[in-house]
Amino acid sequence: MLWTGLSPDEARTYLEEKDKSKRDKRMTMTEAVKRFVKDGDNIGVGGFVNSRQPVAIAHEIIRQGRKDLILSFQSAGLVPDYLLGAMALKPDHLSVQRMEFAYNGHEYAGTSSMLRYMTENEKIFIEDWTNFSMSARFKTASMGLPFMPIRSGQGGDIEKCNRSQVIECPFSKRDILLIPACHPDVGILHVQEADIYGNCRIKGQTFTCPEIAMASKNVIVTCEKLVDHQIIAMDPTRTSIPFFAVDAVVEIPFGCYPTVCHDVHYYDKIHLEHFKGLTDAFRKGDRESLAAYYDTYIFDVADTDEFIGKIPYKQLKYARQTESRSLELQTRLTPPAA
């Protein structure tokens, strides 16, 4: 069996020897990526399509540059596109060798031109899964199991191009699919709230963020807001990820911008569609426009402060004002012009 990331035995041994102390894990984004993201790593990407994508972490990985990365996720849009776009522009600086995933696209805004470019030109190795099988792979790992049976994903062509296996269930005597655990080297997640120790509170859907955190060797968390530990301890049933699963906490408001952060801000459709349009143009031969975007928003800025500083205030405000509000209140707002 090929284990991308850690094998179950390696993951277990690493955790046994890991410092699990309840200590202050705040650090800068630069330091977090420097310490926990290495060449060849399998990266577990948190969020779902264009919701709570760990954009700030992805930008820093792109700035620092890494080689031969593996991306594992169920459904994602912006983060794989950012990383694949960086590889398309500067393959000697950043490269992705493999993706294990169920969906890479933008739903209402269409298919991923970066996925198309990379696969249609045979530049990366891909392994297709389904949303459940990929989510269950993280869950399997989070439970300390090497595999799990699921009743999903067998019978078609997906099982032929991934490492799942169909067996006859020893109890029911019916065919069932076995999926292998996925232990990423590093999980990258954006959440609404965390304390200095790494206890995280996710608002809205958890996607597979808790499972990725428990499955990964190391975890970098960006949070909209750092909260007092007392707040967490007052209502620990609301803790989605416990501190000892987390290695780095970086407070970065708008750390998943322009994707949705439940209860904080809605999409910035203008920025998302702008980037998406540039990737579409790249696939059709216009390299310069995409390269200019990367220079402006990623390479020539030091951090997320400077990235967000380039977004017009009206767009940030509108994304905030359109989140968690009735349609009636939303329709009174004037959308910013693209």
Contact call for residues 47 and 190 (beta carbons, < 8 A): yes
Q: Does 333 bind another protein (CB under 8 A)?
A: no
Instruction: Mark the segment that binds another protein (CB under 8 A) among 84-92, 198-206, 243-251, 289-297.
Output: 198-206
Q: Smallest distance from the beta carbon of 262 to another protein, in angstroms?
A: 4
**Among 40, 65, 91, 155, which residue sits at the site for another protein (rule: CB under 8 A)?**
155
Q: How far is CA 337 from CA 164, 280, 334, in A?
A: 48, 21, 9
Q: Does 153 bind another protein (CB under 8 A)?
A: yes
**Among 25, 262, 271, 276, which residue sits at the site for another protein (rule: CB under 8 A)?**
262
Residue number with CB closer to another protein (37 or 188): 188
Q: Which two tokens stand for residue 177?
A: 């699919």
What's the CA angle centered on 40, arms 37 and 42, to 5 degrees? 70
Whose tokens are 């499972």? That residue is 211
Q: Smallest distance from the beta carbon of 44 to another protein, in angstroms?
A: 13
**Among 1, 2, 21, 174, which residue sits at the site for another protein (rule: CB under 8 A)?**
174
Whose tokens are 């577990």? That residue is 44
Pairing of strands 103-104, 75-76: parallel
In three-state secondary structure terms, 98 is strand
Instruction: Mark the segment that binds another protein (CB under 8 A) among 19-27, 81-89, 111-119, 312-320.
Output: 111-119
Instruction: Mark the segment that binds another protein (CB under 8 A) among 11-19, 30-38, 113-121, 186-194.
Output: 113-121
Residues 276-315 interacting with another protein (rule: CB under 8 A):
none
Residue number with CB closer to another protein (142 or 222): 142
Contact call for residues 75 and 259 (beta carbons, < 8 A): no
Contact call for residues 44 and 73 (beta carbons, < 8 A): yes
Q: Does 128 bind another protein (CB under 8 A)?
A: yes
Q: Which two tokens stand for residue 293?
A: 């975007």
Residues 312-331 interacting with another protein (rule: CB under 8 A):
323-327, 330
**Among 206, 251, 277, 303, which residue sits at the site for another protein (rule: CB under 8 A)?**
206
Q: Which two tokens stand for residue 227?
A: 């909260």
Q: Which of 257, 289, 316 is nearest to 50 (CA)?
A: 257
Instruction: Mark the segment that binds another protein (CB under 8 A) among 31-39, 60-68, 159-167, 184-192.
Output: 159-167
Q: Which two tokens stand for residue 311?
A: 């977004």
Q: Does 30 bind another protein (CB under 8 A)?
A: no
Q: Does 133 bind another protein (CB under 8 A)?
A: yes
Q: Smallest distance from the beta carbon of 86 to another protein, in angstroms?
A: 19
In three-state secondary structure terms, 155 is coil
Q: Smallest distance from the beta carbon of 120 to another protein, in angstroms?
A: 6
Tell me the β-bridge partners of 241.
200
